[in-house]
Amino acid sequence: MNNLLSRGWKEQTDWREESDRDGRPPRRGPHLLPDLPKNVSVTAGRLATLPCRMANLKGRSVSWIRQEDLKVLTTDSVTFTSDPRLQVRAWRTGAVWAWDLEIHEAGLSDAGVYECQVNTRPKISHPVTLHVHRGGAVIPGPNEVYVEAGSRLLLTCWVQAPPRPPGPITWLHDSTPVHATGDRGGVSLHMAQEGAKASARLSLSSVTREDAGNYTCQPESLQPAHVSVFVLQETEFTGIGKCRLRKTAPE
């Protein structure tokens, strides 16, 4: 089950048509399972899963409606939207059907109320409010960093991924992943996490002109952050002992 579902609701994998806890006879017709989540939160760019669970469906049709414009998005396995990010994931366990609406790479504009409907009389429906939070990586400071050859380069990246912690964070030098155990040596990577936030630090000792370039902080399934690093080289000494520095630009 997707971990975006409410913590207080657990999948019922061994459901039976037994009497209710208060002794009433079981319901034989289609009905929603109790305690279904009514709110789902996701970070922009990630998968949002809106849950719908019902028992004894008995051939009834299930539809997902977007309440904002009353647009029918799906009915059974048929999708009525041209947005390829939306799809239904249906599966069955005993008498229980799951009919989840998935929104891949959810954006801020996807936030709103969606309604799962079963075509019974009277209609059975379950509204779910989708909350989409801004998230992604930020490298504080200017987008150009200047460092002298032979000195230390330190880059820090902050990542937010509410409502849950970020996943893995990768540093890229141009398009090549940076590893602490690579051939370059003198590379230190550190990551710390607190709630839905995380920090990733990259340290390079004794930088050379080969270290110049574009550096990317790439969190999994989130917006990356970029910075350009320029290495200043000592190129020419004057007769009075002063030197001019040449900027080595990223390739």
Nearest residue to 251 via CA among 223, 226, 229: 229
176: CATH:
2.60.40.10
Clarify whether residues 123 and 222 are in a common domain. no
Are residue 219 and residue 177 in the same domain, yes or no? yes
In-domain check, residue 20? no
Whether residue 229 lies inside any domain: the answer is yes
Please check whether residues 165 and 147 belong to one and the same domain. Answer: yes
Query: Is 124 in the same domain as 141?
Result: no
The total number of structural domains in the chain stands at: 2
The token pair at 232 is: 């200043």
CB 102 within 8 A of CB 86: yes
Residue 234: inside a domain: yes
Quote the pLDDT of residue 27.
58
Q: Is residue 6 part of a domain?
A: no
pLDDT recorded at residue 210: 94
Q: Does 207 fall in a domain?
A: yes
Segments in the chain below pLDDT 70: 1-28, 234-251
Both 123 and 149 in one domain: the answer is no
According to the model, what pLDDT value does residue 182 have?
Answer: 81
List of residues 6+ apart from 91 with CB closer than 8 A: 97, 98
Give me the pLDDT at residue 219, please.
Answer: 92
Question: Given this model, what pLDDT does residue 86 score?
Answer: 95
Choosing from 86, 106, 132, the residue where a domain stops is: 132
- Domain extent at residue 56: 31-132
Does one domain contain both 240 and 182?
yes
144 and 243 share one domain: yes
pLDDT at residue 24 in the model: 52
CA–CA dist 114, 131 (Å, integer): 11
Cβ atoms of 238 and 230 within 8 Å: the answer is no
User: Is residue 164 domain-shared with residue 114, that is, in the same domain?
Assistant: no
Do 169 and 125 have their domain in common? Answer: no
The residues, any chain, with a CB within 8 Å of residue 9's CB and separated by 6 or more, are 35, 36, 37, 51
Matching residue, tokens 């305690």: 35
Single residue among 103, 132, 161 that ends a domain in this structure? 132
Range list of H helices, the chain: none
- 76 and 54, same structural domain? yes
Domain end among 132, 154, 177: 132
**Buried b / exposed e across 195-212, counting CB within 10 Å, b at 16+?**
ebebbbebebeebeeebb
Same domain, 47 and 81: yes
Domain-located, residue 3: no
* Same domain as 191, residue 112: no
The answer to the question of residue 206 being in a domain is yes
Q: What is the pLDDT of residue 245?
A: 44
Q: Indicate whether 10 belongs to any domain.
A: no
Q: Residue 234 has what pLDDT?
A: 67
